[in-house]
Structure 1
């Protein structure tokens, strides 16, 4: 029996169905990518030239020889502690504000929205839509230069991120214990404290620790606008093309991220027991 005589349901499907919208979407994305390469002024010949390779080799040679002068390392240690304090305090403030905003931004058991649902959702969207760097630039007018600006910028942006994550976790929490307390006439505040919060607390802590890791890296970017810490040192020495000092600062940032990542891993393991 030939393919033409097979029933419609028994015929093999063609590998590409041009009447499917997904293929046209992929073709459109491919066209946009091709146009992006065409509109960008990619000077590949200049980038792959011998002169560029020589300069890049010299740059890497300086970058791979960090400055180990004790006086500079002392300043680097103080800036590292400053960055660690900025990220930790900013994350802590964001976790508290995010939880407060997540309560009205989450639906109840029956899917009923609170009176402040739309406003708090809009506020959380606004907080996380503005990057930390922009927050720091805006806060410079009122708070001036220094780590305080960096801490506030990290806290505001992270509040929007954690608030949304916390709200989703509260909405998706198991409702068995909460429903049992609700039937007995317990008010919603006690239900959250004794039923919902213990269930979602490990997840909330995990989200907060993850954002702390991200804030270590974000604190480095804030130095561009004078946010203090390692970022300010990095912007200063990179601006002067002092690659040995820049290398030391980058190593300090890597060490900080690794330490915070290790602390987060240990904390998650302890919570999972």
Structure 2
């Protein structure tokens, strides 16, 4: 009875928070459907059809898709390598001071969104896929480093301790005692983040980071809706294929 009463209190607080949020933000959903709003939305959506399927444009979309895949793959790989190195520090393998500094760095990397990193990298490295790759690598390194460190902290210490007592060095004890127990989890985290980075790589093009996102931004800016529709469909197909591939790899290696 006490738990039910507490649950009702929490539900009432959540409902009150939602009502307060609507009031604070002054959201007016009635205005969305008032006047000719629906007609304008329908007219704009209809302008995207039929998509542009000309050979030259599809060829450009194919190259843009490859560029987006390359940005996400290289960014994720760099992030996994950096995250693995930082996770050793963040898990306390090299002392308390190194642990605190590594955790502070990981928090800083992942607290800054990819779009902000991309804007900074565009200023530093110029427009193009290099800026997008660096932006994905920096943010994802913070995410993966934290996840890798938690996996190391939860790894059973028995195998490593046994190897150390048998005379193995710290590197050998880690490689043969700890790493085999966390490697599958690390790979699963990396593949999941690669899925997310595929979508984000497409978005980063809006700040000039290359790939399909940049093509979508240009076509929308020039009011070329049929071409934009083709880019959106290419994004959808690419994300579905990568999601299926990543899920299959996680099942096989998990």
TM-score (ref. length: structure 1)? 0.86
Distance (Å, rounded) in 2 between the aligned partners of 1:32 and 1:178 = 49
1:56 matches 2:46: no
1:247 — aligned with what? 229
**Count of residue pairs brought into register by the alignment:** 254
Q: Secondary structure at the match of 2:108?
A: helix
1:34 — aligned with what? 19
CA RMSD, aligned part only? 2.0
User: Does the CA contact (< 8 Å) of 1:106 and 1:113 recur in 2?
Assistant: no
TM-score (ref. length: structure 2)? 0.92
How far did residue 154 of structure 1 move?
0.2
Taking structure 1 as reference, are residues 37 and 102 closer, same or farther at Cα in structure 2, changes over 3 Å only? same
1:263 — aligned with what? 245
Q: Show the 5 A alignment for 1:204-243.
A: 204-243=186-225
Deviations 1:189-231 (A, max 9, x none): 1111111111111110110000000001111221121011011
Whichever of the two has the greater Rg, that structure is: 1
User: Does the CA contact (< 8 Å) of 1:146 and 1:228 recur in 2?
Assistant: yes
User: Does the CA contact (< 8 Å) of 2:92 and 2:98 recur in 1?
Assistant: no
Taking structure 1 as reference, are residues 14 and 202 closer, same or farther at Cα in structure 2, changes over 3 Å only? closer
Pick the aligned partner of 1:95 from 80, 102, 114: 80
Distance (Å, rounded) in 2 between the aligned partners of 1:236 and 1:129 = 29
Distance (Å, rounded) in 2 between the aligned partners of 1:100 and 1:128 = 16
Deviations 1:95-123 (A, max 9, x none): 00000000011145xxx954400000000
Q: Show the 5 A alignment for 1:89-128.
A: 89-107=74-92, 113-128=95-110
How far did residue 73 of structure 1 move?
0.9
Structure 1: give runs of 5+ residues left out of the alignment. Answer: 1-12
Structure in which a larger fraction of residues adopt helix: 2
How far did residue 27 of structure 1 move?
4.2
